[in-house]
């Protein structure tokens, strides 16, 4: 079957930066279609039109990849919310929706698997088999519906990352495998993040890298080290939140009163579109091949990032023209001067 994108992932990587866009779960939670806590994408079957619209917004903003919303749509998670019966429909529909919108703009379609919470490094054989079965089930449906590659993301355990990669390889699918970096230096099973990326490359990953957890500034040093350590493509999908050297991972951010800011009170840490555009520019210069965004990201971030990488996107038609603003614009500044007051220039 013909794919929406005439160019493969590898061809696009050879030509330049591939732009990703994620954060579906957080965005749809904000819009009232995903329940915080379980964070299972029930919206896929409950309100598919809402998912189509968000795909479309990311596509217009410049995303080269439509990521099927199957994050946490695996057997254990659906059982927790009593919807195990919807498992197959949810997975198949998610890939169909991504394909439908990808077809509107020639984008790639990525299947999506993630950390399962079923893996226990103390019992890698027993729990690894459970994880493998869940990935095989999800990706089997994805292959039947049609995908270009797999994004296997927010991996806390190297062992679990490797299992997902093995399933992709067996199915003949290119894999982008990215780690969450909740801990300072190593995965939960004790592998240095850079070393983990090196091993994933050796095991056949097309792209390795990082997603989620860290804000754009705190992700940079690790990305530079990963770029130096591997020769395959590198991915970077930070969260648009200002994490700090004291708190590099957004999961640990706290309010002034000490309460958890993650996952529902993160607004005070939010990055502007300009900060994300700066990150995209940095990443492009640093030789990062797949540049995107994770939890908290919105179409305005993605458009600013795409434009920072030199793209003009369909949504660029409505990119800011602050000079036309009645108060902040240059025309009004001249007028203000005549009237004897000074408008604050926009940096
Ligand atoms: Zn995320």
- The alpha carbon of 239 and the centre of ligand 1 are apart by a number of angstroms equal to 6
Does residue 76 surpass a pLDDT of 90? no
- The alpha carbon of 23 and the centre of ligand 1 are apart by a number of angstroms equal to 6
pLDDT at 343: 47
- The alpha carbon of 212 and the centre of ligand 1 are apart by a number of angstroms equal to 4
Burial letters 201-213, b for 16+ CB under 10 A, else e = beeebbbbbbbbb
pLDDT digits (tens, 9 = 90+) for 205-214: 999 999 999 9
Separate counts of helices (H) and strands (E) for the chain = 13, 8
Q: Is 231 in contact with 224 (CB distance < 8 Å)?
A: no
φ, ψ for residue 167, nearest 5 deg? -65, -40
| Across 47-60, average pLDDT | 98
pLDDT digits (tens, 9 = 90+) for 93-131: 999 999 999 999 999 999 999 999 999 999 999 999 999
- The alpha carbon of 337 and the centre of ligand 1 are apart by a number of angstroms equal to 47
- The alpha carbon of 137 and the centre of ligand 1 are apart by a number of angstroms equal to 23
- The alpha carbon of 17 and the centre of ligand 1 are apart by a number of angstroms equal to 20
Residue tagged 């093995």 (tokens): 166
Does residue 307 surpass a pLDDT of 90? yes
The domains found in the chain, sorted by start residue, are 9-312 (3.20.20.330), 322-347 (no CATH)
Q: How far is CA 142 from CA 29, 37, 243, 278, in A?
A: 24, 26, 34, 34
Does residue 180 surpass a pLDDT of 50? yes
């Amino acid at each position: 079957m013909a794919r929406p994108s005439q160019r493969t992932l590898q061809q696009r990587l050879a030509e330049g930066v591939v732009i990703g866009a994620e954060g579906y779960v957080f965005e749809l939670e904000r819009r009232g279609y995903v329940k915080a806590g379980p964070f299972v994408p029930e919206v896929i079957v409950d309100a598919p039109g809402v998912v189509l619209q968000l795909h479309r917004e990311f596509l217009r903003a410049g995303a080269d990849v439509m990521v099927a919303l199957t994050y946490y749509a695996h057997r254990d998670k659906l059982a927790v919310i009593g919807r195990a019966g919807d498992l197959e429909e949810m997975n198949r529909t998610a890939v169909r929706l991504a394909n439908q919108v990808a077809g509107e703009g020639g984008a790639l379609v990525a299947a999506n698997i993630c950390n399962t919470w079923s893996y226990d490094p103390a019992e890698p054989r027993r729990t690894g088999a459970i994880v493998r079965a869940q990935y095989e089930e999800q990706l089997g449906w994805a292959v039947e519906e049609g995908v270009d590659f797999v994004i296997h993301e927010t991996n806390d355990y190297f062992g679990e990352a490797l299992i997902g990669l093995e399933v992709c390889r067996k199915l003949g699918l290119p894999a982008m495998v990215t780690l969450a970096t909740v801990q300072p230096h190593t995965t939960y099973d004790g592998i240095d993040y850079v070393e983990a990326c090196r091993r994933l490359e050796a095991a056949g990953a097309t792209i390795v890298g990082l997603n989620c957890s860290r804000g754009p500034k705190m992700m940079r040093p690790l990305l530079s080290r990963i770029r130096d350590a591997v020769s395959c493509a590198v991915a970077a999908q930070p969260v648009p939140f200002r994490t700090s050297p004291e708190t590099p991972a957004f999961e640990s951010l706290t309010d002034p009163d000490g309460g958890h800011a993650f996952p529902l009170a993160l607004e005070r840490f939010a990055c502007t579109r300009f900060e994300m555009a700066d990150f995209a520019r940095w990443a492009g210069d640093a030789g990062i091949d797949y540049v995107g965004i994770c939890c908290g990201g919105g179409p305005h971030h993605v458009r600013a990032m795409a434009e920072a990488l030199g793209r003009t996107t369909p949504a660029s038609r409505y990119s800011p023209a602050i000079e036309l603003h009645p108060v902040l614009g240059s025309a009004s500044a001249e007028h203000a001067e005549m009237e004897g007051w000074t408008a604050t220039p926009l940096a």
